[in-house]
Amino acid sequence: MTEVTMDKIVNLAKRRGFTFQSSEIYGGLASCWDYGPLGVELKRNVKNAWWRDMVQARDDIVGIDCSILMHPRVWEASGHLAGFSDPLVDCRECKARFRADHLATSPCPLKPSKMAGQFEKCDLTEARQFNLMFKTFMGPVEDTASVVYMRPETAQGIFVNFKNVQTTSRQKIPFGIAQVGKSFRNEITPGNFLFRTREFEQMEMEFFVKPGDDDQWFAYWTQARLDWYVKYGIRPANLRLRAHAADELAHYAKGCADVEYNFPIGWSELEGIANRTDFDLRRHAEFSGKDLRHFDEETREHYFPYVIEPAAGADRATLAFLVDAYDEDVVDGEPRTLLRLHPALAPMKAAVFPLMRKDGQPEKAGTVYDLLRQHFSVDYDQAGAIGRRYRRQDEIGTPYAITIDHQTMQDDTVTLRDRDSMEQVRLPIDRLVGELQQRLTAPLTRSSAVGR
């Protein structure tokens, strides 16, 4: 069984160009990450899989893409200005800051074997509320009249556009509006790589339902979201649902369940599914003076719909997919690191290698590469021994490797190697596209994957 640590994931991500520390040449900006050539493909594939399943494959959900900066009144109405805060404590001795509710798991910087507040020199202040929204100024004058906020969730753009979307898309309740985009939170204790950052991407969907139908839709979306992670390769043993206790609920929520993942830091929230009731639409109606009620043509009633919200993080999901795919094994006496990524998520779907750099093999491999890249994201590699080239692709999760060898030059066949089983089959070049299309869309089998 492979032990997966955050260090192993961070090292692989850096070594292979999945992620880089933001502004690294200036010493880095804490908890901000840039996605490199492979990381941007992986994260985009995660977002595309979500969008395909949540929007394109359904009749009852439509998409939206709202601006990050919104009218400041939005955040008054939503309750974020007054209530989106975490309890903060400072240590007068070491000057570090902690979340008061995370003290038990925050090591003391002066004595890391003890937790904050437990070392004899710790001198913590009383907890005070710290608002997590980033403020900035609109226009050239930095006064209070021009303050705007970087959105801390994408959801509010959806609520304020509820009527616009419903009337233009002619959706009837129940229906949903989905959005993928950046959110910003001035987290007191960010960290653990992509898990908690101050700038991150969310994949949120607000599903508007008739009051009274909300419990049933909450159950539906909780299960659907758990199943989604399994569909893209996360082992069920590493996923669980956790219902929030009443004192954990956000100010707008009647109920909430987290999809939790068994990260190397322990079981932690991957996605939250909340029953937001009619809180947001009611508040925006009150603060804007606009009627945001839905008119039910059958019953001739006006009402504020209830909202069920599955809210996922694209970066946190990317991290979970990386962690779950990470594996180590031994091949021919040599250690191998591999990412058993679902083909839909893998940054590269296939790699093409000429076995030798002579006898016309590179040219032939170039033709195969050009053929395949019209259909898939494909890599080409002719450097080094073939075994090393396989390892390099295994380590970035490429499901298939195609080798052009001596026999190819005679009969136009190639070998196709499977990343997980390492089995090779020989097939004609003109069947390659069809074979890959079929294999890449087949449901994932994890016969060779080991659990953590």
Contacts with ligand GAP by CB under 6 A lie at 153, 155, 185, 187, 196-197, 200, 202, 204, 269-272, 309, 311-313, 315-316
CB of 267 to ligand GAP, least distance (A): 13
Phi and psi based region of residue 235 (left: phi greater than 0; alpha: psi -120 to 50; beta: remaining): beta
Q: In whole angstroms, what is the distance from residue 123 CA to residue 298 CA?
A: 64
**Which residue, 273 or 404, is less far from ligand GAP as judged by CB?**
273
Q: In whole angstroms, what is the distance from residue 14 CA to residue 36 CA?
A: 9
**Which residue, 50 or 369, is less far from ligand GAP as judged by CB?**
50
CB of 80 to ligand GAP, least distance (A): 10
Query: Which of helix, strand or coil describes residue 123?
Result: coil
**Which residue, 177 or 436, is less far from ligand GAP as judged by CB?**
177
Nearest 5°: the CA angle 339, 54, 162 is: 140
Q: In whole angstroms, what is the distance from residue 178 CA to residue 155 CA?
A: 9
**Which residue, 52 or 182, is less far from ligand GAP as judged by CB?**
182
Radius of gyration of the chain (CA): 25
User: Which tokens belong to 52?
Assistant: 């395909």
Strands 400-404 and 350-354: parallel
CB of 244 to ligand GAP, least distance (A): 10
CB of 182 to ligand GAP, least distance (A): 11
**Which residue, 253 or 404, is less far from ligand GAP as judged by CB?**
253
**Which residue, 271 or 278, is less far from ligand GAP as judged by CB?**
271
CB of 250 to ligand GAP, least distance (A): 7
For residue 295, count other CB atoms closer than 10 A to its CB: 12
Q: In whole angstroms, what is the distance from residue 418 CA to residue 400 CA?
A: 5
CB of 240 to ligand GAP, least distance (A): 14
Which residue sits closest to ligand GAP, CB atoms considered? 313
**Which residue, 122 or 311, is less far from ligand GAP as judged by CB?**
311
User: Which tokens belong to 220?
Assistant: 């539906």
Residues 6+ away with beta carbon under 8 Å from 313: 200, 201, 202, 203, 270, 271
CB of 114 to ligand GAP, least distance (A): 26
Amino acid residing at 36: G
Q: Across the strands, what pairs with 209?
A: 306
CB of 203 to ligand GAP, least distance (A): 8
Phi and psi based region of residue 199 (left: phi greater than 0; alpha: psi -120 to 50; beta: remaining): beta
How does DSSP assign 138-149, residue by residue?
SSS--SGGGEEE
For residue 171, count other CB atoms closer than 10 A to its CB: 17
| Residue written as token pair 């058993």 | 340
For residue 439, count other CB atoms closer than 10 A to its CB: 15
CB of 149 to ligand GAP, least distance (A): 14
CB of 44 to ligand GAP, least distance (A): 17
417 neighbors 423 (Cβ within 8 angstroms): yes
**Which residue, 51 or 380, is less far from ligand GAP as judged by CB?**
51
**Which residue, 307 or 355, is less far from ligand GAP as judged by CB?**
307
**Which residue, 309 or 379, is less far from ligand GAP as judged by CB?**
309
What are the Cα distances from residue 47, in Å, to 204, 335, 353?
A: 11, 32, 30
